[in-house]
Amino acid sequence: MPTRNSWLIILTALLTSLITSCQTTVNLSTNLTATAAMQADRAPASLKVGLPPKGKLFHGVHPGDSSGEEDVFITKPSTLYDYEKAVRDKKIDQRPAWVYFSHEWGYQEGDKTKPMNSHAFPLCTVRRIAARGQTPFIRLMLRSDTDSAAKKKPEERESYFTLRNIIGLHPDNKEISDQINRDLKKWGEDARLYGNPIIVEWGTEANDETFGWNARYNGEE
């Protein structure tokens, strides 16, 4: 039989795992730790992202590694710490004010036979950044995979997160469009409940043909 101390150790390890892990594919409503955290931030967002002092610029970073994956910080936060150490080594005594990461909505590993990544507001990652006094900058990546659209054959191009499906006015597939917009609405509601400054971007580098939302793939839309 485990002793009282051993039970405390097991419980502490479990809670630590829940709190520090940002790898989750379940909705926030089924994550007890995240749900409890959301309840603590019920106040509507009233703060704004501040401006730098006159004559100054904010220092921002999108942490990454040699893999080139844009969401690597979610599972490998050490990429940010490594960057900050490198900056300190260069005698620049200033941590980044903004920390970027990509929230990929597509299929896990770009494999359409696998489930999609979580579409829930990335509360764990956001809190990890904010707890260090930095502003989270979220790149909302509504795409099925991370492959360059410019290198795909016409039949391989985006069919789920199309611009029409995202906008929803004249969708390519109404069922898919409705699901995307339900997920977006819930994401926005949870971002508001978080109640602290964040920056959110969709349509990253729209002038780059790498991404399926570029005008090349959407006519005059």
Segment 28-86, tens digit of pLDDT: 443 434 444 444 444 444 567 888 889 988 889 998 887 777 888 888 888 998 888 88
Share of the chain above pLDDT 90, in %: 48
pTM for the full predicted model: 0.76
Give me the pLDDT at residue 27, please: 41
Question: What are the start-end ranges of the H helices in the chain?
Answer: 4-20, 32-39, 72-75, 78-89, 123-130, 163-167, 174-194
What are the structural domain ranges in the chain?
A: 59-154+199-206
Q: How far apart are CA 38 and CA 193, in angstroms?
A: 7
Residue 123 to residue 46: CA distance in whole angstroms: 18
**Structure-block tokens of residue 179:** 């699901």
The 10s digit of each residue's pLDDT in 152-169 is 998 999 999 999 999 999
